Amino acid sequence: MNNQTGQLAAAIENATTPNTETRLQLYRQMQACRMMEQRAYDLFMQNLIKGTSHLALGQEAVAAGFGTAMREDDYSFCTYRGHNHTLVRGASMTGILGELMGRECGLLRGKGGSMHLMDAKRGAMGSYAIIGAHMPIAAGAAWSAQYRESGQVAVCFFGDGTTNIGAFHESLNFAAIWDLPVVYVCENNLYMEYTPIGEVTAVPNPGADRASAYGLEPVLIDGNDADLVYNVAVAALQKARTGDGPSLIEVQTYRHGGHSRADPGKYRPDEEVAAWMKRDPVITYRQRLLDDGIEVAAIEAIEAEQAARVDAAEETARNSGPPPLEIAEIDVWADGSSTWRN
């Protein structure tokens, strides 16, 4: 195992503020994520999105930071709360909203829905509804990249509750002993569905406190700080790409709403919610840009651009029809149909 203890900590300590172009891209990504998911919520309330869905409002800095740092041919693996992680890889906003609405224009032609977004051409290798199921798959993708010497890195996002699943430990073990080019990112939003993670976990920091068990460096950062997330992502991706093995990064963040559409989130203390809302990553980053001298015109141009983008995406999705019956068996059986059963 080729583990360099403290490598990420040193990179964080010595990190400089990203250049203006990068920072504007981070804000562009965060605004795209925020506006798209707010629109998704509005469409839920109009009953245009059926079933349930899991929004990441409040967690945009994580997706933006890694999405901006990743190479085009890198791989992303995420959970059912994966709309933003798919969008920042370059997937169509129209395709995402269309998929949520069950329309033919969706990424999967309306057959996958909110919890199964995927755009393999963009490196978005799927959202996984089974907790922890994607962690060994990400390790497999990383092993493939290592074997092919392609320089690609797999980045796997998961929630704090996943750290108590067997696949978490199995995946980290193999990633460490094989020095796989994979970055595991624990998005700790403090709750596993409706249960505070601290009530069911033996350590205070479910990801970072377990890293040393696999010879990895403990990394715990503010997941609402887009600049910090970006700098850590750059360092972890470089570490993996140059053969120095995997990383486990815990980012502390907070979802603004409940676990899903049906959850009002009333189990969370009011003062806790209020404190985290003051740390809204989109609002605080906007103010930071202004404080650092970035012109308000550039910021407002990004906001107008993304507002127009989400309007156009919704309009196209609304006008798209449902998936035709003849595609019901496509992507279900290996030969494209069920005829082999007959």
How does strand 154-159 pair with strand 124-128? Answer: unpaired
- Strand, helix or coil at 201? coil
Residues shown for the chain? 342
**Distance in angstroms (rounded) separating the CA atoms of residues 233 and 4:** 16
Residues 6+ apart with CB under 8 A from 308: none
For the structural domain made of 7-341, what CATH number should be given? 3.40.50.970
How many CB atoms within 10 Å of residue 6? 9
Cα 326–chain centre separation = 32
How does strand 191-192 pair with strand 195-196? Answer: antiparallel
User: How is 222-265 classified by DSSP, letter by letter?
Assistant: ETT-HHHHHHHHHHHHHHHHTT---EEEEEE---SS-SSTT---
Structural tokens at position 267:
């189990």
Structural tokens at position 97:
């909203």
Q: What is residue 3's predicted lDDT score, i.e. its pLDDT?
A: 47
CB burial readout 90-122, b (16+ within 10 A) else e: ebbbbbbbbbbbbbbbbbbbbbbbbbbbbbeeb
Give mean pLDDT, residues 227-242: 97
The answer on pLDDT for 202 being more than 90 is yes
How many CB atoms within 10 Å of residue 199? 8
The answer on pLDDT for 4 being more than 80 is no
Question: Under the phi-then-psi rule, with left for phi > 0, alpha for psi from -120 to 50, and beta for the rest, what region is 293?
Answer: left
Q: What is residue 74's predicted lDDT score, i.e. its pLDDT?
A: 98
State the first-to-last Cα distance of the chain, in angstroms, to the nearest integer.
Answer: 51
* pTM as predicted: 0.94
Using an 8 Å Cβ cutoff, are 70 and 237 in contact? yes
How many CB atoms within 10 Å of residue 301? 13
Q: Where is average pLDDT lowest: 49-58, 63-72, 199-208?
A: 49-58
**Distance in angstroms (rounded) separating the CA atoms of residues 37 and 59:** 11
Give mean pLDDT, residues 197-217: 96
Percent of the chain past pLDDT 70, that is, above it, reads 96
Mean pLDDT of the chain: 94
Q: DSSP strand E in 61-134: where?
A: 75-79, 124-128
Q: What is residue 14's predicted lDDT score, i.e. its pLDDT?
A: 86
**Torsion, CA 243, CA 236, CA 203, CA 140, rounded to 10:** -50
Domain residue extents for the chain: 7-341
